[in-house]
């Protein structure tokens, strides 16, 4: 991919070494021997042209770089500093990324996560670092995304996966919006004042307060995410919102029976109101009975299933990947993220990494290569890698 306007900046280099924790980070490119989707010279030329001519947007990722040693990760998080993978982003082909920050793992004051002060600290620290370089720019409008493409930069969208931190104060959504947040999830695994996450009983849906919060997000121009909401909350949110909503990172439960993936009913309801589902690639999520080893093949099987179910206009990609040992990170954070509850009881065949879509630097280049080599038109690829998301943002976000 053509490199963005990257000058070699590394996170927090504006400080002196003693001002922040000194840890050895993983390499952002080539950490593991992940497979590059093979293309002919003509196909690769087409891939490069698609990246040059069309917006490429990740609906959900965590573009931070992990330490090599994850044994003390929870203590490391108490510093509240995330190292952004600028080098990896510079070759990712992305024009925009919805970055989910560290959400529930911003554990500066609490091991339980999702505290108001910690989320604000997480956002402010990340934006402080971003302000000291010139390649990644905070995006507040859809025109900011278009400008990033034009200027050879990467638009950075603050996206929070759950709303627990607002507690019962709807005005906190305004505060988050004022600080730059543009996408907000209803709930994570645990329920909150808005509604039920994946961990809660099936009959528990959007609350009366959740209805107010959805209305406020519509009024402000915040994109609503139901990726971690349970099925009833998802359906209730779709019905309550006057704008299309996102499932920023999930897959089809019809292909693998786990609460973390969405049933056809929810995917159809989302699309019927103009919404979009982004296909997820975090380890041990989007596998299928046909492709039991989690890789780009199982990931793209979920994409094709959803595109067949609701049409190419309602499918995108939210890989949910990062720079580092994602499987090891899940091990370190299993309890904090309630992974057992969200994955259900069906055992997942384990992998060390998701081959072909291991990190943000390789995800979209391989996605586009896969679509080119599987007969998709330029128009359909453009919709899936960015156009569908922009259609929703142009309606939802305030101008």
CA–CA gap between residue 267 and residue 198 (Å, rounded): 16
φ and ψ at 262, to 5 degrees?
Answer: -95, 140
pLDDT at position 142 is 97
Tens digits of residue pLDDT in 244-263:
999 999 999 999 999 999 99
pLDDT at position 333 is 76
Question: Of residues 101 and 319, which shows the higher confidence score?
Answer: 319
Residue 45 has pLDDT above 60, yes or no: yes
CATH 3.20.20.140 fits 17-396, yes or no: yes
Tens digits of residue pLDDT in 202-250:
899 999 999 999 999 999 999 999 999 999 999 999 999 999 999 999 9
Q: Where are the domains of the chain?
A: 17-396
Count CB atoms within 10 A of the CB of residue 341: 15
Residue 352 has pLDDT above 70, yes or no: yes
Mean pLDDT of 261-267: 98
Tens digits of residue pLDDT in 109-151:
887 888 999 999 999 999 999 999 999 999 999 999 999 999 9
Q: What is the pTM of this model?
A: 0.95
């Amino acid at each position: 991919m053509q490199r963005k306007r990257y000058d070699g900046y590394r996170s927090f280099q504006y400080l002196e070494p003693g001002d922040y924790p000194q840890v050895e980070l993983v390499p952002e490119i080539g950490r593991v021997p992940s497979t590059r989707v093979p293309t002919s010279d003509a196909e690769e030329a087409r891939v490069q042209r698609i990246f040059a001519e069309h917006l490429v947007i990740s609906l959900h990722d965590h573009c931070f770089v992990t330490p090599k040693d994850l044994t003390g990760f929870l203590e490391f998080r108490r510093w509240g500093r995330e190292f952004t993978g600028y080098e990896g982003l510079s070759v990712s082909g992305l024009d925009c990324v919805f970055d989910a920050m560290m959400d529930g793992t911003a554990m500066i004051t609490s091991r339980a996560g999702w505290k108001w002060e910690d989320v604000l600290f997480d956002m402010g620290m990340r934006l402080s670092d971003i302000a000291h370089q010139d390649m990644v720019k905070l995006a507040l409008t859809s025109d900011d995304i278009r400008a990033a493409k034009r200027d050879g930069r990467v638009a950075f969208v603050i996206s929070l996966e759950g709303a627990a931190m607002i507690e019962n104060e709807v005005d906190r959504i305004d505060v988050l919006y004022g600080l730059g947040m543009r996408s907000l999830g209803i709930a994570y695994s645990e329920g909150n004042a808005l509604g039920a996450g994946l961990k809660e009983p099936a009959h528990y849906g959007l609350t009366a307060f959740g209805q107010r919060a959805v209305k406020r997000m519509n009024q402000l121009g915040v994109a609503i995410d139901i990726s971690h909401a349970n099925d009833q909350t998802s359906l209730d949110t779709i019905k309550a919102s006057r704008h299309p909503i996102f499932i920023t990172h999930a897959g089809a439960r019809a292909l693998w029976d786990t609460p973390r993936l969405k049933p056809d009913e929810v995917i159809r309801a989302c699309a019927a109101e103009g919404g979009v589902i982004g296909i997820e690639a975090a380890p041990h999520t989007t596998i299928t009975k046909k492709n039991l080893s989690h890789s780009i093949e199982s990931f793209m099987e979920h994409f094709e299933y959803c595109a067949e179910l609701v049409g190419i206009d309602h499918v995108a990609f939210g890989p949910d990947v990062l720079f580092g040992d994602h499987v090891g990170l899940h091990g370190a954070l299993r309890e904090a993220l309630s992974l057992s509850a969200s994955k259900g009881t069906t055992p997942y065949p384990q992998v060390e990494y998701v081959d072909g879509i291991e990190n943000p630097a390789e995800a979209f280049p391989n996605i586009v290569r896969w679509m080119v080599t599987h007969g998709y038109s330029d128009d359909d690829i453009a919709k899936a890698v960015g156009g569908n998301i922009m259609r929703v943002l142009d309606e939802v976000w305030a101008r």
